[in-house]
Amino acid sequence: MTHYLAAVCTALTGPDAIEIRDMKTAALQPGEVRVAIQAAGLNFPDLLMTRGEYQFRPEAPFVPGMEFAGEVIETAKDVTDFKPGDRVMGGNRGGCFAQQIVVPAGALSPLPNALSFEEGCCWHTAAITVWHALNDKAAMQAGESILVLGASGGVGMAAVKLAKHKGGFVIGTASNPAKRAAVIAAGADHALDPADPELANQVKALTGGNGCNIVFDPVGGDLAITATRSIAVAGRYLIVGFASGKIPSFPANHALIKEYSLIGLRAGESGRRDPVLAERNKSVMQDLAEQGIMRPYISHHCHWIR
């Protein structure tokens, strides 16, 4: 195949600037693998990138999409870990909304039989973010309580599932009854309405008056400040993202009085800065994937060019 189709963001004006274009196939360089993409995951950062609002800001034109699953088409001569026909999943800083992609072999993992192409393509980004948050950053222990904001989203669902896997008491927030039911189905012990003015008091009541040991926050905005009022003394507040579109200003005096930690995290950047951490986590992630842990909930499918 000398050509393939891709969804190209032609301007940083949002998803309406995406066009389907014909792309020319590039020759493989040493260490690279060409994959026929069977499914690609859609993440909130993909939307932000089309507006130039994400931390990683590619200039237009570019192909969005950060994770995929598919079958190996071709490998460079020096690649020994994969061969044509292998089922794989992987991630990249873009390029996944296309019929094929070329990535370094190190960006790929075998797709376990436990996951379909659709599940594999939206597993890794959420899963590694949550693993890095709860394991590397918060060091969550069995028996601890966690409040997951935005629990019905992809990364929120993964947080619920991993927290339960680690033996936690999980409280999630979601904006309507259907979403709260999905959060409970994912394993949460309780699901609350984030708009309830008594949210902080409800969390305290559910945790015996102590508050939660960990807050997992991919939402930000006013909800973040509410969540700080539900955190336990010496708790850990994980700043994951700002899906609300509003960056909160945390009250430093409150953090001082309750001695809780505000912890920022960027799983991808941490792995790039620390190759030892990246390699260790890659092995752990493969084991979790093979067990089907953090299996994604897929709400929508879009068959656009296949």
Residue 133 and residue 113 share a domain: no
**Mean pLDDT, rounded, for 210-216:** 97
* pLDDT for residue 305 is more than 60: no
pTM: 0.82
**Mean pLDDT, rounded, for 47-58:** 87
- Burial (Cβ within 10 Å: 0-12, 13-18, ≥19) of residue 296: buried
Q: Is residue 243 part of a domain?
A: yes
Residue 118 and residue 52 share a domain: yes
Instruction: Return the structure tokens found at 196.
Output: 């309830």
Domain carrying residue 175: 126-267
Rounded to whole angstroms, how far apart are CA atoms 2 and 93? 23
Unique residue bearing structure tokens 């708790």: 235
Residue 225 and residue 176 share a domain: yes
Q: Is residue 177 part of a domain?
A: yes
Residue 167 and residue 259 share a domain: yes
Rounded to whole angstroms, how far apart are CA atoms 164 and 292? 14
What is the tens place of the pLDDT at every residue in 254-304?
999 999 999 999 877 777 788 888 778 878 888 888 888 888 877 777 766
Query: Hey, what amino acid is at 206?
Result: L
Residue 206 and residue 142 share a domain: yes
Return the CATH number at 15. 3.90.180.10
Residue 88 and residue 37 share a domain: yes
Q: How many domains does the chain have?
A: 2
Question: Domain boundary at 88, 122, 156, which?
Answer: 122
Return the CATH number at 211. 3.40.50.720
What is the tens place of the pLDDT at every residue in 69-117?
999 999 999 999 999 999 999 988 899 999 999 999 988 989 988 889 9
